[in-house]
Structure formats: structure tokens, C-alpha cells
Amino acid sequence: MRIAFTKMHGLGNDFVVLDGRAEVLPAFDSATAAAIADRHTGIGCDQLIVLEPSQTADFRMRIFNSDGGEVEACGNAARAVGLLHGQPARIETSGGLIATSPADSSVSVDMGVPRFGWDEIPLAYAMDTHEMPLAWEELVRPIAVNVGNPHAVFFVPDSDAIDLARLGPVVEMDPIFPDRINVNVATVEDRSRIRLRVWERGAGLTLACGTGACATAVSAIRRGLADSPVTVHLPGGSLVVDWGEDDRIVMTGPATESFRGSFDPANYGISQ
């Protein structure tokens, strides 16, 4: 038996989506996810997305980074899955319940309420997450926020000038972040526009990161640097983030289906 997949992307952040809502899929571990994500010997993607039935929502979404690690949330994947589902949906994730609402050319995602407590990020020990007294070379005093997964946001004069390929993994793997961290370098262009680059834990430099855009917009508003809604410009395109009076984050942006196919599970060591 072959396993069907849908290849999708959100602003260039790409996914292999496996739909196990109506038909049971084989069990996936980190090695299998990494093998499917490999761009040379697998299908190739930033994240493997597995959809499953849920007892608390319309369905469950599991997210595996390209290194095989399972993570809590992915905003771009949520938009892609929202497009694939084709109608409003409540989706269970390891990072909490989210809601998607597709429109003609975009998908809006209610990402929930941001968390700022040091133990909610989490950090290794207590400190002020609004302006952490830490630095990694020119990356200084980040804001830490959890928007379903953990982010450190650095505001810099020019995000393009940061050697994020070198500094990103240094920050990601620092012991202060026991679950590792997504690293965002952002430049506020005006009160409604932010330029952003993201080093994604377990995936590396990415063309777009939906949760990173949410974390950065919330951090800029929290520091008094921007007003809601904020347009966040990433290398792959732009997202609009609205942090409302109800404290919930709504992210809106495009998603695209690239192609569909199938694969032999035996090629990836999957037993059925």
C-alpha cells in the first residue's frame, strides 16, 4: 500500500502533509520524519505534517521538523492545513487549540493567547522575559514569548546584516532554553511594518515562519514599537498579525498547494 501526500507551502516554508483523519497511518518516529523531509533522498520539506482524528477539535495536527523533532506549533502549516481542509476548523496541536478560517486568497489563524512567563517559554531559571539580560554578540536583550512554541525576538537596526546562519544555532542551543528556541531578528520600519528573518529550531533558516511573525509582532507591540495590526515582511512574503483586545493573536496570509503524490512506506523503513 502506498501513502498519499500533499506538498504545500506558506510563503516558501514547505510541508509534506499526510492525512490520517479517515484512514489510519503507520506510526511515525523522528527518523522516519527526517527521512521524508530530506531534500536529496526523500520528498523534501521543512516540516512533515500528520493529520489525525481528535476528541477535542475537528482534527489534530502533528508537526515534525526536518531534523525529525516533533514540535508544538507552526503558523504557516496551520494556514496550509486550513486551505487543505477548505472550511473553518478547530485544530488540536501540542501547543494548544487553534482555529483556521480560509478565504479566497488567504487563511486566517487564531493562534491563541501569547505567554510570557519564564516557566512558560520555558527558561532554565527565572528572569524578566520582557528584556532578558543576555547577549550573543550583537544580539542583545531579547523578548521571550511562547505562541504555541518558544521564540526569542531581537530588535536590530538591520536584520539583513545579522549572520543568522552562524548565530541562530548558538542561541537556539543555549542552555538557558531547555527546549531550545526559535530565533527572530527584526527591524521595525514604522509602527505598522516589521522586517523579519527567522532561525527555526530543528529546521534552520526559513523563508517564512508564522509563529515567528506572531511572536515578533506581539513583542514589538509589547515594547511600544508598533501598533496592531502589524504587517511582518519575511524573505518569502508578508503576513498580517492582529493582537486584539481579547489578547488573542490572529495571523492572516497565503498558503499554496504545490502538488500531490504517493510513496512506498518501505522506502522509509515504515512497517505496516
Catalytic (active-site) positions: 74, 209
CB 76 within 8 A of CB 255: yes
C-alpha cell at 169: 544555532
Phi-psi region of 164 (alpha: psi -120 to 50; beta: other; left: phi over 0): alpha
C-alpha cell at 193: 511594518
Report the C-alpha gap between 237 and 102 in whole angstroms: 18
Report the C-alpha gap between 148 and 93 in whole angstroms: 8
Nearest to 146 by CA among 178, 102, 175: 178
Strand residue runs (E) in the chain: 3-10, 13-19, 47-52, 59-65, 70-71, 89-93, 96-102, 107-112, 135-136, 139-140, 143-146, 150-155, 182-190, 193-200, 204-206, 230-234, 237-243, 249-253, 256-263
Provide the β-strand partners of residue 256. 9
